[in-house]
Structure 1
Amino acid sequence: MAIENQQRIEIVGGASKYASDISGRYRDITFSYKKEEVGRIFNNMRTARSYDVCEYSLANFIKSYASADTGIVGVPVFPYRAFRHHIIKVRRDSILESPRDLIGKVVAIPDYSMTAGVWARGILLEEYQVHWSDIRWVSGPNQRFPVPSTVKINYTTDDLEDGVISGVYDAIISPELRDDARPDTNQRLRPLLRNADDIEREYYERTGLYPINHLIVMAESCLAKHPQAGAALYEAFSKKKVDLFGSNPSSFFGGDEMPGWLAETIARGDDPVPYGLTARNIVNIKKLTGYLREQHLISREPSVQEMFVAS
């Protein structure tokens, strides 16, 4: 094939090791990879459909399909998963010790519709019978999507993390806090669930859920131009996953590493991060879709099959 006739597609995503080395040629399509901050990627794709292929928020993706605002299609590759029990944080000296203690309290959250928040609220309800309407929420003024009118929420330009540390708010739900970078002994926040690691392990063993947070999406215009792109992307990411599993599986998600106990299951033949529309992944996606509807973020639950390209 002449150079000028080669098919080329740029993938835009975060800095995870398995993805940043994805460049190569698959099914006559040459892929390159460009690293960007994921929040910026999500905003650019949501507002302007800025990329042919990119990493994207699963909750935002489902919400787009539920409202028929598509123009993108999912590739069943899931570049980021994370448990969400441990991201519910309180002050180190807080008297709050259980999710039930959050009833009637003020909980900060950076963006109400972010996938991490949807998972956390769903877990609070399903595992601890704490409904999102039992909580008073506070968030920043810049939301990806309008917050449902049924939510008790206030908006502020003040720093949410500082607000929890100073005692203005009771707790915060966020996967990224500045406090996390401090040495353990100097951290001013702690997980509400003191034994969150053990609880997350029991949750996985009982439910089989390692919550999907991000997926790979492709512009429908790109798929029309490159009909083999979906299968080629799936093949490229799958090969890289096999390569990384053979070296250092715990580094699969880069800085936010897979828990060691979960990485150890790979050596025993388990795959906690499967690609494709497997039974486990379908359950995972349907679980988040159900949470979105229960939280009034969508009014229709799109089927898994309608959202994803065949791989």
Structure 2
Amino acid sequence: MSKNVRLTLACGEYESVRALLDGTVEVDGVDLTILTDMDSATRHWRFLRNNEFDIAEVSASSYLAARDRDWPVRAIPVFLHRRFRHGFMFINTGKGISKPADLRGKRIGVKTLMTTAVLWMRGILQEHYGVPLDSIEWFAELDDDVQLTADVKVSRLPDNKSVETMLAEGELDAVFHADIIKPFLAGDPRVGRLFPDHKAEEMAYFQKTGIFPIMHVTGIRKEIADAYPWLAVNLFRALNAAKATAMKRMANPRIVPLAWYRAAWEEQQAVLGPDPWEYGLTEKNRRNLETLVGYSHGQGLIRRRLTPDDLFLNVDQGRKRGGEYRI
């Protein structure tokens, strides 16, 4: 009978965790039950509000707010999901919106203001395009994972309203969303992107800032982290090993049914570097997280400017330790 600790991990079914899912990589000292059959918004709520999982991939924005309010949750600097966000700003094509400045005074829909994707988009809109967020009327579809502070202004939509439908029908001028919205996927001519060439905009953003936006962190219930102080390091090592296995596998161009997959892989390396998905509190990740904290604080979602070291459990094994074993 196993003497390992039995824990649950809820996360997306990503290539970067496949080695954990199939047992190729294990967390030393842990028997993991891994749960992947839920969407991100549901997983975040069930982890933060219902405390259903010991470990979970969780919204970075919601995690910041939870820590700001001293909720019993901690995290390690493993970022299973990142995404550039310029391509997720959608507009109604009949409203005369052709550039970011045209969003001043408009009605914009979101799933929630605390969605990490929305936090990034709002921050980018204000910092890099000069659009004041308080000039916009915001409408949210869902309740936030962590309750907003009283001075954050947003209108809640009733259950029978969808921001995607409202955009297509002209009730909203724009929608900022974590996913590609259904009207756009369906080719509805009433809906388009704010940045038609979003890839070029995102590449320019990266060249200017060095930021490949972090969306999610890996959360751990505080009581679990306290009970097993070795867990943070062992989990960090296992997730790094799983990612390394994934990257080695994905180097094979036959693995993905895309004609120019290898060209896309090489382009990513040329623009973003050899490991844009790096874990840990590296210099790049610190800048990324500090920007996210700044946006969250500036938008009134958190009251304190938490530092990366405040936010994450220590996974340092000591200088020149944790690598190759020598006898």
Matched length = 301
Distance 2:70 2:229 in 1: 22
Tell me which residue corresponds to 1:120.
121
Aligned to 1:279: 283
Query: For the Cα contact (< 8 Å) 1:21–1:33, is it kept in 2?
Result: no
Other-structure match for 1:164: 167
Contact 1:20 1:34 in 2 (8 A): no
Supply the AA of the counterpart residue of 2:300. H
> What is the one-letter code of the residue matched to 1:284?
N
Q: What code does the residue aligned with 1:22 have?
A: L
Amino acid of the structure 1 residue aligned with 2:75: G
Letter in 2 for 1:303: T
AA of the residue aligned to 1:291: Y
The equivalent residue for 1:84 is 85
In the alignment, does 2:134 pair up with 1:130? no
Counterpart amino acid of residue 284 in structure 2: R
Equivalent AA in structure 2 for residue 247 of structure 1 = R
- Residue 111 of structure 2 is matched in structure 1 by 110
Per the alignment, in what secondary structure is the counterpart of residue 281 of structure 2?
coil
Q: Are the aligned partners of 1:20 and 1:33 in contact in 2 as well (CA < 8 Å)?
A: no
1:223 aligned partner: 225
Partner of 2:30: 29
SS in 2 for 1:5: coil
Q: 3-state SS of the aligned residue for 1:242?
A: helix
After superposition, what is the alpha-carbon deviation per residue over 1:110-130, rounded to whole angstroms, capped at 9, x for unaligned? 111111111011000110011
2:9 to 5, 8, 11: 11
Residue matched to 2:199: 197
Say which is worse superposed, 208-217 or 33-42, in terms of deviation.
Answer: 33-42
The alpha-carbon distance between structure 1 residues 9 and 250, as it changes in their structure 2 partners (threshold 3 A), is farther
Give, as a single letter, the amino acid of the residue that structure 1 aligns with 2:280.
Answer: G
Residue pair 2:168, 2:183 contacting (<8 A) in 1 also: no
Contact kept, 8 Å, 2:56 with 2:220, in 1: the verdict is yes
Contact in 2 for aligned 1:22/1:32 (Cα 8 Å)? no
Equivalent residue for 1:246, pick from 245, 248, 252: 248
The letter for the 2-side match of 1:190 is G
Give CA deviations for 1:37-82 in whole Å, capped at 9, x if unaligned: 221111111112221111101011111111222x121111100001
**Distance in 1 between the 2:137 and 2:266 partners?**
37
Q: Gapped runs of 5+ residues in structure 1?
A: none
- 1:264 counterpart residue number: 267
In the other structure, the counterpart of 1:206 is: 208
Describe the shift of the 1:29–1:65 C-alpha distance in structure 2 as closer, same or farther (beyond 3 A).
same
Cα gap change, 1:250/1:277 in structure 2, threshold over 3 Å: closer, same or farther?
Answer: farther
The alpha carbon displacement at 1:211 in A equals: 0.4
Gaps of 5+ in 2: 316-327
Aligned to 2:309: 305
Q: With structure 1 as the length reference, what TM-score do the two structures score?
A: 0.88
SS at match of 2:49: helix
Contact 2:10 2:36 in 1 (8 A): yes
Q: Which residue of 2 aligns with 1:101?
A: 102
Change (3 A) 1:132 1:9: same
Name the structure where strand makes up a greater proportion of residues. Answer: 1
SS of 2:76's partner is strand
CA RMSD of aligned residues (A): 2.6
Structure 1 residues 130, 13: CA separation in 2 closer, same or farther (over 3 Å shift)? same
Deviations 1:202-249 (A, max 9, x none): 111221101001011111222233222111111111111112212226
In the alignment, the residues of structure 2 paired with residue 173 and residue 63 of structure 1 have an alpha-carbon distance, to the nearest angstrom, of 20
TM-score (normalizing by structure 2): 0.84
SS at match of 1:89: strand
Q: Name the amino acid aligned to 1:83.
A: F
Q: SS at the partner of 1:217?
A: strand
Q: Measure, in 2, the Cα distance between the counterparts of 1:12 and 1:39.
A: 12
SS in 2 for 1:11: strand
